[in-house]
Amino acid sequence: MTSTSVTPASHSSFLILHGWQNHRPEGHWQRWLAGELGGRGARVSYPQLPDPDEPDLEVWLGCLQGLLDAEQGVGSERVVVCHSLGVLLWLHAVARGGSRADRVLLVAPPSGDVLARYEEVAGFGGPEVTAAQVARAAGAVRLVAADDDPFCPGGAAARYGVPLGLDTDVVPGGGHLDLDAGYGAWPSVLAWCLDPGVRVSGRTP
């Protein structure tokens, strides 16, 4: 279910979750998004999660729960925006019955078989989550993924979108939708944050 109502940014709180080896670099679309939302009066949390180069799932889950608890009762709408490993973090939390939000954007989740090649993040693969659990965890969930992501062979739409019943936007030729793929400023993600009825497309050249 996707809401079409628009909530002023100043009435919303946003939690932005980064991925593996992401040190919130200057120019990354998540950092750009945090600045844009904050400039519109929104409450924005864009934390550096512990040990991003060698993350521990249990530690990250504990941090996520603490961040969500801190947002209880703040603003009329709670929105979570995840990229890459941050998507799997959110799915693991949902599988354990946590991580409630009004809206969630899941961008470029990697596949478990790719993560298994890397000892540092192998434990994040394969969250045993169901479509029903995802539906209970948020009022609306949008998946955004490219059709050529090297970290998700076969495409996240097939690996995650179909089995989890997710509303999905496919970005042609977007790679991992990260800074290396040219995703700095990303206006359509900002537009979705401000209006959930907006479809997310690739960056403007």
pLDDT tens figures, 134-182: 999 999 999 999 999 999 999 999 999 999 999 999 999 999 999 999 9
Q: Using a cut of 0.75, tell me whether the model's pTM lies above it.
A: yes
According to DSSP, residue 158 is labeled I
Structural domain of residue 36, as residue ranges?
Answer: 10-194
Q: What is the CATH number of the domain that holds 32?
A: 3.40.50.1820
SS3 annotation, 136-148: HHEEEEEEEEECC
Asked, for residue 18, whether it belongs to a domain, the answer is yes
**Residue 126 domain-assigned (yes or no):** yes
The amino acid occupying position 56 is: D
In the chain, the number of structural domains is 1
Banded pLDDT at 59 (limits 50, 70, 90): very high
Q: Is residue 99 part of a domain?
A: yes
11: left (phi over 0), alpha (psi -120 to 50) or beta: alpha
Residue 201 domain-assigned? no
Question: With contact defined as beta carbons under 8 Å apart, do 162 and 125 qualify?
Answer: no
Q: Which of 23-27, 74-78, 130-134 has the lowest mean pLDDT?
A: 74-78
Q: Is residue 205 part of a domain?
A: no
**Residue with tokens 């800074």, as numbered in its chain:** 179
Q: Place 3 in a pLDDT band, splitting at 50, 70 and 90.
A: very low
Give residue-wise pLDDT tens across range 93-114. 999 998 789 999 999 999 999 9
Q: Residue 177 falls within a domain, yes or no? A: yes
Q: Has residue 5 been placed in a domain?
A: no
Is residue 153 in some structural domain? yes
